[in-house]
Amino acid sequence: MKAKIKYWIRDAMRPLIIRPYPNAGGMDYVDPKKKSNFVGKIVLAAALTALCILMLKQSSTFRSPSPFSQRDTGVTHVLVTGGAGYIGSHAALRLLKDSHRVTIVDNLSRGNIGAVRVLETLFPQHGRLQFIYADLGDAKAVNKIFSENAFDAVIHFAAVAYVGESTLDPLKYYHNITSNTLVVLEAMAAHGVQTLIYSSTCATYGEPEKMPITEQTPQLPINPYGKAKKMSEDIILDFHKNSDMAVMILRYFNVIGSDPEGRLGEAPRPELREHGRISGACFDAARGITPGLKVRGTDYKTADGTCIRDYIDVSDLVDAHVRALEKAKPGKVGIYNVGTGKGRSVNEFVEACKKATGVEIKVDFLPRRPGDYAEVFSDPTKIRDELNWTARYTNLQESLEIAWRWQKSHRDGYGSPS
């Protein structure tokens, strides 16, 4: 068969010569063999042309431009850094639901590709969602991403985010949080991206004497995580003095809960468990993954001796980002606390978790953890007045019940990352 094709091509390539047939009384006569040769040539030429078109179509120069590289009227293209993580994935879901175009950039150091796959399944349409695997510490890669995509706004979630870990490995935190924010900001400036929503934290306030915390409360962070975030804020604010960028800095309090429809959840790396947040620790204890819950510090100057925190549901938090995006104005900076305004003790939290899971979680009381502060809760007046935002999911037990449903049905989180 191969040989036949070879000869057919060779014959077809031979120049077509039409000669008078010697025994045909001087009449011109076309040899039928030669005639089929001619047809073969045409077929071959057509096949080669089709092949060329196909190859050109595959090549990037010929391909129609990606929708992510174009600006479309009425479509806001948001770069969500850290979109494979807990808060970033929930934010991406909401942005997609609100008809935005989303690009997630994540190095999967902490997040889950499984969360991205869930989003891709929910929004498979061309031009809605793309995932780019990249490290924000790689300025060259970041610049390439900005040069190939037409972003309208950036929500910069990507960060390492554990207070305890930051006290053990401070340089990692300054590098990942402060230095990477600089990379993102420089890329935004270089490529004319005009809106930034920055994920900051109540850890930038440290341990203020006066509660609740307002945006005017002095920022005196006491651990490298809070300091690195405060430095990032300062960089953004200094840059903003000579820029027309629209900037919103959101200082979150303690984030809990998950998507009420059960599509996404919180699934930190198992190796980060020891640094983990209280909700994850409660669920791990309830599922028997850990023998019990360790409450660190019972001698704080609070009503029951345990720390007091302001727990904000992730759905409310994401809503605050959407409001911030809507209200961001060129040349203006908005700084907002995102919390419920109500402090709950760790003991209260544990009781709510026991009720939400239905498990009598074993609790061990241990000495304080370095870098922790006694009492932190927000005054959310400013965000209510200026962005018309108020927390709606304020029932701790209900938020934990929602999160627990996802945890129970995802014993292995999103599965192993690939």
- Where does this chain bind ligand NAD (CB under 6 A)? 82, 84-88, 106-111, 135-137, 157-161, 176, 180, 199, 201, 252, 254-255, 277
Residue of 203, 212, 205 lying closest to 341 (CA atoms):
212
Nearer to ligand NAD by C-beta: 37 or 166? 166
Nearer to ligand NAD by C-beta: 264 or 350? 264
Report CA-CA distances (Å) from 402 to 126, 246, 299, 357, 390.
Answer: 31, 34, 31, 10, 20
Nearer to ligand NAD by C-beta: 277 or 354? 277
Report CA-CA distances (Å) from 408 to 2, 85, 116, 336.
Answer: 59, 19, 20, 34
Bond from prior residue into 212 cis (ω within 30 degrees of 0): yes
Q: What number of other Cβ atoms are within 10 A of residue 72's Cβ? A: 12
Most distant pair of Cα atoms in the chain: their distance: 121
CA distance 219 to 241: 20
| Closest distance to ligand NAD from the beta carbon of 251 (Å) | 8
Contact 135, 141 (CB under 8 A): yes
| Closest distance to ligand NAD from the beta carbon of 62 (Å) | 32
Residue of 67, 13, 78, 5 lying closest to 41 (CA atoms):
13
Nearer to ligand NAD by C-beta: 160 or 387? 160
Nearer to ligand NAD by C-beta: 159 or 231? 159
| Closest distance to ligand NAD from the beta carbon of 254 (Å) | 5
| Closest distance to ligand NAD from the beta carbon of 64 (Å) | 29
Q: Are strands 293-296 and 363-366 parallel, antiparallel or unpaired?
A: parallel
Nearer to ligand NAD by C-beta: 82 or 164? 82
Report CA-CA distances (Å) from 230 to 204, 233, 248.
Answer: 5, 5, 14
Residue of 402, 398, 397, 372 lying closest to 308 (CA atoms):
372
Nearer to ligand NAD by C-beta: 195 or 258? 258
Q: Which of 162, 174, 198, 225 is catalytic?
A: 225
What is the C-alpha R_g of the chain? 30
Our answer to whether residue 205 is catalytic in this structure is: no
As beta bridge partners, residue 366 has 296
| Closest distance to ligand NAD from the beta carbon of 157 (Å) | 4
User: What b/e string do you get for 391-405 counting C-beta neighbours within 10 Å, with b at 16 or more?
Assistant: bebeebeebbbbbbb
| Closest distance to ligand NAD from the beta carbon of 255 (Å) | 4
| Closest distance to ligand NAD from the beta carbon of 238 (Å) | 20
Which amino acids are annotated catalytic? 225
